[in-house]
């Protein structure tokens, strides 16, 4: 591209030296850089457009591996399966932290460098822009006829006074069109507009830093907890009542605001009409009673896309399932265990698996692995292996395999409520033993093997799995994201341009010249100059020279 | 009770929709043939022009304007960087290009009709699964292509656009087809309407921008070989300016998609960002196009290099839509709550 017409650069946006708009400088080679010189050299390299571009593309590239391999944070089970399937290769991936790509050292290094580059870029630009906002438009160039959009009127005989009026009219017209105007020597008006373009661009980049800072610093304040609640039961927002919690660095149990949620009802809706989707879930609604100390209890609902905001937390409905209510009695008929047991869904028809542990009250510790089928398909249709064909409780069946031995509950180690470690247990009924497994329908009772007692399936209720989050960064991140968006639109679509109107005297006659100059992309510059020329010449009653 | 009449209407609407889509595909194929023929004409036209000894000055006088504008190449004096000429170089239109346009409009009306019928059948917006999303996104691509004609003659992209849409409609009707089924709870949100629609708009603009960039690369190579400017297709520089304008609009839509998607993810999954596969790829696409915008502002990166980035960016969009949707597992695959 040809070199630009020389003009005062003081109101130009400041750009890295390898920006397309920057004047091309001869490479300054200083043999004796010294420490300061070397540092400055590296800083200039780091904050150049080329480095920014390189780092951007590197971020895009570096993000790819993490999308091809399951991630520890979003898909921990996937990681386990992947490692089992590719043991050798997984070691290499593990070494490079690919299962945690987005918090790995190398990924962090790239984006931190990018943001250092970004900050190094925006600080001088912001300072310069603040100064530019207070700098009047630069001098009118000596010749306009080599500039974009150049137009002129015909020559007209005029007095000095007319010229002053014409330039005054030019100033008013440009001001009215949103330009900042400066009049020179009473024979030209120099105008500039679109400072918002640079403002928007800077806001865009600064807000990007804002998002990073909010996410980075705020991370320590975030905590998330999980709680499974069967219908009729309650949850109190205290540390001991959570099933699990992953606290951020700054989490303190005292900061939990005391509130209580009671699940009064859970209504899943399954498709019944559409033959292509019978039994598919179309709606889940959890009805809860929420009480906050000092306030009247209220009825609230939580749905999949509408969480409950309560006491500095957001409560999400992320899972649900069935919980058979089971009662176990000792041989004398005394109840030793009775409660709903949340079962984990295994498929869309809610075939579910769960574990019952009875450490006390029977002659031995007893563990049971249960499979529950909301609508068991009759063996005549589906074959011998039982399975569920509908998520609703149409033909509910619970099967149990019974074990005795040490349940491992007394060791003090945390135990997963959803799994039974059968290593130290002896199976006494069910598949693989001489005694057939237990099959129960609601209301039925069966004898436990070896005269241990009885087990009854009272009824089957639903439970919900709630995720409870506290994330004070959310609003910050959203606000910065909105600024990113607004800054982007402003920075891209507001044209920054200069326009000049100049009275040129030649031999007792005068004509007006018009021209403009774009700073950055400005496809409408010519039209804008032509429009101003048309209005101005009409005001003065002059014709344009064809 | 199954409301029988409802089931019947749904089946009927689904059939209307499919018939309309198949018919539109047939007419798109005709349009594609005419546009391809037109391209061949343009190339031979280009050969003739290249053989001509001198490049004549093209002066396009615009009615109602007081001035004579000259095309970029003939501008006297230096052209400041970043400055783009607004006036289009007037290009002669061939009969086949005009026929191509007429068929494209006809096909598009059927295409939109088919998509609307699909939405009516489902009782919701027609972009809730890959099949429907493909119908809508391709309709938007053609829509953007047609609307832009009022502002800028892009008929030389006709073959690219109709060919592209034809391929995707074919894959959609054969490989992506699913019956109308109700939305799973996670998709029941007004964000589905906003987020996915804006994503399709972004895809449309990116797609046209990438198409222009492909033509730009071809033109640049011709020009570099000293074959002279080709009048039947805009110059590489002009193509680049056009591509840039389309892509920045696409980028704005994409940025919105990313933000809206995060808000929705927070509502549905309890976190606004989780590096889910689909999220990662949407982010990758965003960063590539941010890179493209930067490249256009970096000395030494204008021209063919930035055009290549635009093409890579759009390839990532396609990858995100096809491979990621079909083969990668993540929350976006809706394998259950
Ligand atoms: C986090 C990484 C970055 C992203 C995502 C990003 C993105 C963008 C986008 C989308 C634009 C066009 C929008 C507008 O003009 O408002 C832009 C423009 C710009 N960026 Fe960045 N940027 C990043 C980092 C940087 C860095 C490190 C520098 C400095 C070296 C930089 C310098 C610029 C400049 C000078 C422009 C104006 C370009 C022009 O003249 O058209 N950016 N950036």
**B158-206 confidence digits (pLDDT tens):** 999 999 999 999 999 998 888 888 888 888 889 988 998 999 999 999 9
Residue A347 lies in a domain: yes
Give the confidence band of B3 by pLDDT, cuts at 50, 70, 90.
low
**Selected residue with higher pLDDT from B76 and A458:** A458
Report yes or no: A409 at the B interface, CB cutoff 8 Å: no
Asked if residue A11 belongs to a domain, the reply is no
Instruction: Give the predicted TM-score (pTM) of the model.
Output: 0.88
- Domain enclosing residue A515, as ranges: 141-194+495-540
Band of residue A284 on the pLDDT scale cut at 50, 70, 90: very high
Residue B299's domain spans which residues? 4-50+95-336
Q: What is the predicted pLDDT for the residue at A352?
A: 94
Please state the rounded mean pLDDT for residues B75-79.
35
Q: Which of A20, A303, A489 sits opposite B298 (nearest CB)?
A: A20
Whether A463 and A508 map to the same domain: the answer is no
Residues A233, A113 share a domain: no
- A492 chain-B contacts, CB cut-off 8 A: 248, 251-252
Do A526 and A421 fall into the same domain? no
Residue of A523, A524, A527, A534 to mutate when probing chain B, most B C-beta within 10 A: A523
Interface contact flag, A484 B255, Cβ < 8 Å: yes
In a domain, B140, yes or no: yes
- What percentage of chain A has pLDDT greater than the value 90? 58
Measured between CB atoms, does A20 come within 8 Å of chain B? yes
Give the pLDDT of residue A51: 93
Q: In terms of Cα–Cα distance, which of B291, B283, B253, B247 is closest to B265?
A: B283
Of B81, B179, B186, the CB nearest to A21: B81
Query: A107 in a domain, yes or no?
Result: yes
Residue A230 sits in the same domain as residue A354: yes
Quick one: pLDDT at residue B81? 34
- Ligand 1, atom 17, residue with closest C-alpha: B294
Residue nearest to atom 25 of ligand 1 (CA): A118
- Mean pLDDT for the stretch of residues A30-59: 86
Q: Which of B241, B248, B294 sits opposite A56 (nearest CB)?
A: B294
The whole-chain average pLDDT of chain B stands at 81
Chain B partners of A476 at a C-beta cutoff of 8 Å?
none
Greater pLDDT, A511 or A20: A511
Of A32 and A194, the structure prediction assigns the larger pLDDT to A194
Q: Which of A49-63, A116-130, B91-105 has the least mean pLDDT?
A: B91-105
In a domain? residue A485? no
- A42 and A146 together in one domain: no
Q: How confident is the model at residue B57 (pLDDT cuts 50, 70, 90)?
A: very low
Chain A closest CA to B241's CA: distance in Å?
9
Closest chain A residue to B292 measured between Cα atoms? A53
Q: How far is CA B179 from the centre of its chain?
A: 27
Q: Is residue A228 part of a domain?
A: yes
Q: Is there a domain that residue B233 lies in?
A: yes
Q: Do A400 and A360 lie in a common domain?
A: yes
- Closest C-alpha to ligand 1, atom 41: B297
Q: Is B300 on the interface with A (CB under 8 A)?
A: yes
Mean pLDDT in residue range A403-415? 78
Of A3, A320, A481, the CB nearest to B78: A3
pLDDT score for B231: 63
A432 in a domain, yes or no? Answer: yes
> Residue B291 and residue A53: Cβ atoms within 8 Å?
yes
Q: Comparing A82-86, A275-279, A302-306, A326-330, which segment has the lowest mean pLDDT?
A: A275-279
What value does the mean pLDDT take over residues A384-388?
82
Domain of A153, CATH number, reads 3.30.310.80
Q: Do A469 and B294 touch (CB under 8 A)?
A: no
Chain B neighbours among A 336-355 (CB < 8 Å)?
345, 348
Most confident segment among A230-239, A249-258, A401-410, B69-78: A230-239
- Lowest-confidence pick of A296-300, A378-382, B140-144: A378-382
Q: Looking at the predicted structure, is the pLDDT value of residue B87 above 60?
A: no
**For residue A208, which atom of ligand 1 is closest to its CA?**
1
Q: How far is the CA of B278 from the centre of ligand 1 (A)?
A: 24
Mean predicted lDDT score pLDDT of chain A? 89
Within this chain, do residues A398 and A274 fall inside the same structural domain, yes or no? yes
Do A163 and A287 share a structural domain? no
A431/A531 same-domain check: no
Q: What pLDDT, on the 0 to 100 scale, is given for residue B93?
A: 65
Residues with CB under 6 A from ligand 1: A 15-16, 19, 47, 49, 52, 56, 114, 117-118, 121, 200-201, 204-205, 208, 488, 491-492, 520; B 290, 293-294, 297
Q: What is the per-residue pLDDT for B68? A: 34
- Does residue B282 lie in a domain region? yes
Task: In whole angstroms, give the CA distance from residue A67 to residue A34.
Answer: 44
Distance B294 CA to ligand 1 centre (A): 6
**DSSP-based three-state secondary structure for A300:** strand
State yes or no: pLDDT of B69 exceeds 70.
no
Judged by a CB distance cut-off of 8 A, whether residue B290 touches chain A is yes
Contact partners, residue A146, CB within 8 Å, separation at least 6:
A5, B76, B77, B78
- Confidence band, pLDDT 50/70/90 cuts, at residue B222: confident
Phi-psi region of B299 (alpha: psi -120 to 50; beta: other; left: phi over 0): beta
For chain A, what is the domain count? 3
Confirm whether A10 is domain-assigned.
no
Shortest distance between the Cα of B254 and any Cα of chain A, in A, equals 10
- Binned at pLDDT 50, 70 and 90, residue B51 comes out as low
User: What mean pLDDT comes out for the span A176-182?
Assistant: 94
Per the structure, the count of domains in chain B is 1
A379 or B267, which is more confident:
B267
pLDDT in tens, B312-325: 999 999 998 888 87
CB contact under 8 A, A518 and B297: no
pLDDT in tens, B99-153: 999 999 999 999 999 999 999 998 888 888 889 989 999 999 999 999 989 888 8
Instruction: Evaluate whether residue B22 is within a structural domain.
Output: yes
Higher pLDDT: B74 or B287? It is: B287
Q: Within this chain, do residues A391 and A466 fall inside the same structural domain, yes or no? A: yes
């Amino acid at each position: 591209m040809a070199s630009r017409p020389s003009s005062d650069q003081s109101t130009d946006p400041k750009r890295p030296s390898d920006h397309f708009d920057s004047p091309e400088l001869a490479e300054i080679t200083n043999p004796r850089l010294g420490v300061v010189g070397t540092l400055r050299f590296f800083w200039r390299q780091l904050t150049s457009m080329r480095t920014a571009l390189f780092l951007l593309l590197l971020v895009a590239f570096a993000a790819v591996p993490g999308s091809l391999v399951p991630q520890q944070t979003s898909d921990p089970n996937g990681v386990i399966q992947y490692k089992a399937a590719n043991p050798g290769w997984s070691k290499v991936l593990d070494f490079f932290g690919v299962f945690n790509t987005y918090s790995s050292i190398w990924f962090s290094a790239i984006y931190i460098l990018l943001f250092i580059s970004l900050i190094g870029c925006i600080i001088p630009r912001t300072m310069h822009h603040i100064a530019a906002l207070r700098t009047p438009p630069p001098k009118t160039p000596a010749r306009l006829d080599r500039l974009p959009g150049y137009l002129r009127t015909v020559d007209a005989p005029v007095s000095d006074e007319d010229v002053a009026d014409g330039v005054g009219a030019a100033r008013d017209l440009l001001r009215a069109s949103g330009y900042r105007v400066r009049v020179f020597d009473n024979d030209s008006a120099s105008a500039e507009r679109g400072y918002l373009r640079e403002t928007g661009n800077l806001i865009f980049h600064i807000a990007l830093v804002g998002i990073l800072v909010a996410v980075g610093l705020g991370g320590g304040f975030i905590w998330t907890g999980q709680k499974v609640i069967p219908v009729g039961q309650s949850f109190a927002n205290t540390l001991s009542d959570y099933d699990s919690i992953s606290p951020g660095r700054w989490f303190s149990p005292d900061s939990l605001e005391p509130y209580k949620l009671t699940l009064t009802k859970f209504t899943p809706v399954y498709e019944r009409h559409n033959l292509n989707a019978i039994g598919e879930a179309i709606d889940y609604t959890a009805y809860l009673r929420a009480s906050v100390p000092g306030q009247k209890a209220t009825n609230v609902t939580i749905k999949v896309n509408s969480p409950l905001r309560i006491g500095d937390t957001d409560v999400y409905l992320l899972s649900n399932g069935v919980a058979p209510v089971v009662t176990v009695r000792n041989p004398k008929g005394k109840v030793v265990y009775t409660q709903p047991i949340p079962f984990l869904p295994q498929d869309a028809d809610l075939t579910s698996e769960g574990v019952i542990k009875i450490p006390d009250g029977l002659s031995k510790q007893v563990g049971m692995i249960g499979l529950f089928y909301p609508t068991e398909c009759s063996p005549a249709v589906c074959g011998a292996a039982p399975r569920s064909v509908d998520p609703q409780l149409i033909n509910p069946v619970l099967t149990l395999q019974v074990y005795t031995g040490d349940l491992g509950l007394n060791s003090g180690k945390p135990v997963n409520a959803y799994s039974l470690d059968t290593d130290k247990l002896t199976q006494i009924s069910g598949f693989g033993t001489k005694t057939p497994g237990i099959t129960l329908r609601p209301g039925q009772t069966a004898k436990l093997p070896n005269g241990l007692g009885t087990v009854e399936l009272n009824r089957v209720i639903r439970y919900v799995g709630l995720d409870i989050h506290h994330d004070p960064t959310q609003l910050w991140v959203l606000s910065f994201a909105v600024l990113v968006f607004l800054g982007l639109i402003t920075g891209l679509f507001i044209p920054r341009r200069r326009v000049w109107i100049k009275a040129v005297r030649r031999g007792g006659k005068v004509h007006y010249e018009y021209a403009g100059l774009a700073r950055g992309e400005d496809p409408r510059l010519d039209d804008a100059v032509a429009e101003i020329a048309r209005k101005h010449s009409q005001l003065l009653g002059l014709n344009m020279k064809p | 009770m199954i409301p029988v009449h409802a089931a019947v209407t749904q089946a009927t609407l689904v059939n209307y929709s499919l018939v309309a889509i198949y018919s539109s595909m047939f007419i798109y194929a005709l349009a594609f043939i005419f546009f391809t023929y037109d391209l061949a004409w343009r190339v031979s036209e280009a050969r003739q022009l290249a053989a001509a000894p001198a490049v004549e000055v093209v002066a396009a006088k615009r009615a109602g304007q007081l001035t004579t504008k000259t095309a970029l190449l003939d501008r006297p004096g230096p052209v400041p960087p970043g400055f783009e000429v607004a006036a289009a170089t007037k290009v002669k239109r061939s009969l086949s290009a005009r026929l191509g346009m007429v068929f494209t409009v006809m096909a598009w009306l059927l295409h939109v009709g088919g998509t609307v019928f699909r939405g009516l059948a489902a009782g919701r917006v027609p972009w809730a699964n890959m099949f429907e999303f493909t119908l809508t996104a391709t309709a938007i691509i053609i829509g953007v292509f047609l609307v832009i004609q009022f502002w800028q003659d892009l008929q030389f992209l006709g073959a690219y656009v109709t060919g592209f849409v034809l391929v995707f409609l074919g894959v959609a009707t054969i490989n992506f087809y699913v019956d109308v089924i109700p939305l799973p709870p996670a998709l029941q949100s007004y964000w589905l309407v906003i987020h996915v629609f804006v994503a399709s708009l972004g895809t449309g603009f990116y797609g046209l921008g990438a198409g222009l960039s492909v033509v730009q690369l071809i033109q640049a190579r011709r020009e570099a070989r000293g074959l002279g400017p080709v009048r039947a297709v805009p110059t590489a520089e002009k193509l680049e300016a056009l591509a840039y304008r389309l892509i920045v609009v696409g980028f704005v839509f994409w940025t919105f998609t990313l933000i809206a998607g995060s808000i929705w993810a927070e509502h549905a999954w309890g976190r606004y960002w989780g590096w889910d596969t689909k999220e990662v790829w949407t982010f990758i696409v965003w960063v590539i196009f941010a890179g493209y915008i930067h490249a256009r502002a970096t000395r030494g990166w204008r021209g063919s290099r930035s055009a290549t980035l635009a093409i890579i960016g759009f390839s990532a969009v396609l990858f995100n839509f096809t491979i990621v949707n079909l083969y990668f597992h993540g929350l976006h695959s809706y394998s259950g709550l």
